[in-house]
């Protein structure tokens, strides 16, 4: 299928190892298809009692998706971009609903697509190397791969803060917020994987035994500020709250938001507002697919990729340039359901 992802059986577990180190293991469509195929094979295989997901080498667990390909496709008919999201979301949903326990080792950069393959796992391991973020608003995208489901279920307004600012969390913060179930030193991971391969029925006991106390989670010191300043469901009101605060931290967050796409900040807030009430993860993924299909062919995504990834001038020219210029009508169009013959469905 793809050399960019290795799938094998080791002991009594199936191993999915991301193997694209030069791209920090960012997902392409062949990787998504290979992962889905492995999950399908192992679903009824009695010799496979659990699934482990990690990366083969390099400093990233998974830095996201194949954004360059998506942007190039979006400039034309968008067919390949939509196909990528369709297959990626099917793989995300397969992980979310998998009957056998899944263990994800978030050792390194875990962003975008990496969040989509780690948060569905029953066991999620953070380390001192973990750098977790959903930074999509900086390239005119939104926190997809289930972001509307996961972020909306974080305590208080933490999800809104992370979605809008793209703030990076370390491993200790992931554990404190429940994004990770365990915190292990990176040098203990090989031992953990070996024990799990031998005794997959004892995963919880093994990980609890190896779990260590993480450092202090710095984000918790800002919890009250985040809940207060990001309390509103409109971007304009959040900007106003940050401006009125008068403190240095609020000013820093406002400056960060001023660099983000106004359109996709509004998309992100709507996504989390609705995601908190979504009946099922499949419904969430169908909605995110409709939104993604439209957002990637709009100006801000193509311009954001140009500025951040292609030209690297980090000076995107958003259109509209301010939140006030993004009308409710535009957001409603982006969120409109797709026709039945175009809509996303699980396998």
User: Hey, which residues are catalytic here?
Assistant: 65, 113, 136, 144
Cα–Cα distance, 237 to 232 (Å, whole number): 6
Task: Supply the DSSP symbol for 27.
Answer: B
Cα–Cα distance, 184 to 32 (Å, whole number): 27
Q: Please list the residues that pair with 14 across neighbouring strands.
A: 9, 51
- Decide if 300 contacts 266 (C-beta within 8 A): no
Cα–Cα distance, 102 to 118 (Å, whole number): 9
Count helices and strands (H / E) in the chain.
16, 10
Helix (H) or strand (E) holding 176: helix 171-177
What are the phi and psi torsion angles at 27 (to 5°)?
-80, 135
Write the secondary structure of 49-76 as one string of H (helix), E (strand) and C (coil).
CEEEEEECCCCEEECCECHHHHHHHHHC
Cα 198 → chain centroid: 30
């Amino acid at each position: 299928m793809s050399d960019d992802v290795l799938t094998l059986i080791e002991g009594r577990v199936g191993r999915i190892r991301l193997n694209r180190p030069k791209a920090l293991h960012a997902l392409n469509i062949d990787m998504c298809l290979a992962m889905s195929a492995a999950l399908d094979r192992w679903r009824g295989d009695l010799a496979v009692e659990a699934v482990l997901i990690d990366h083969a080498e390099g400093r990233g667990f998974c830095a996201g998706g194949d954004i360059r390909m998506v942007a190039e496709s979006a400039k034309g008919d968008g067919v390949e971009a939509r196909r990528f999201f369709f297959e990626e979301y099917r793989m995300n949903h397969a992980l979310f609903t998998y009957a056998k326990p899944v263990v994800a080792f978030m050792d390194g950069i875990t962003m975008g697509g990496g969040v989509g393959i780690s948060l569905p796992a029953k066991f999620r391991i953070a380390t001192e190397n973990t750098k977790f973020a959903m930074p999509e608003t900086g390239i005119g995208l939104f926190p997809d791969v289930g972001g509307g489901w996961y972020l909306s279920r974080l305590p208080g307004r933490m999800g809104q803060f992370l979605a809008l600012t793209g703030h990076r969390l370390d491993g200790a913060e992931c554990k404190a917020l429940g994004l990770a179930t365990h915190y292990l030193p990176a040098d203990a991971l090989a031992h953990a994987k070996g024990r799990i391969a031998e005794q997959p029925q004892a995963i919880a006991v093994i990980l609890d035994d190896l779990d260590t106390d993480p450092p202090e989670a710095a984000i918790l010191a800002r919890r009250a500020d985040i809940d207060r300043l990001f309390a509103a469901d409109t971007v304009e009101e959040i900007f106003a709250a940050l401006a009125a605060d008068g403190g240095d931290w609020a000013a820093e967050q406002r400056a960060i938001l001023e660099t983000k796409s106004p359109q996709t900040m509004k998309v992100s807030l709507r996504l989390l507002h609705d995601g908190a009430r979504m009946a099922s993860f499949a419904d969430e993924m169908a909605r995110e697919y409709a939104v993604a299909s439209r957002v990637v062919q709009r100006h801000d995504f193509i311009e954001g990729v140009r500025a951040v990834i292609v030209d690297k001038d980090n000076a995107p020219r958003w259109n509209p340039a301010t939140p006030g210029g993004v009308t409710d009508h535009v957001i409603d169009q982006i969120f409109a359901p797709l026709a039945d013959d175009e809509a996303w469905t699980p396998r």
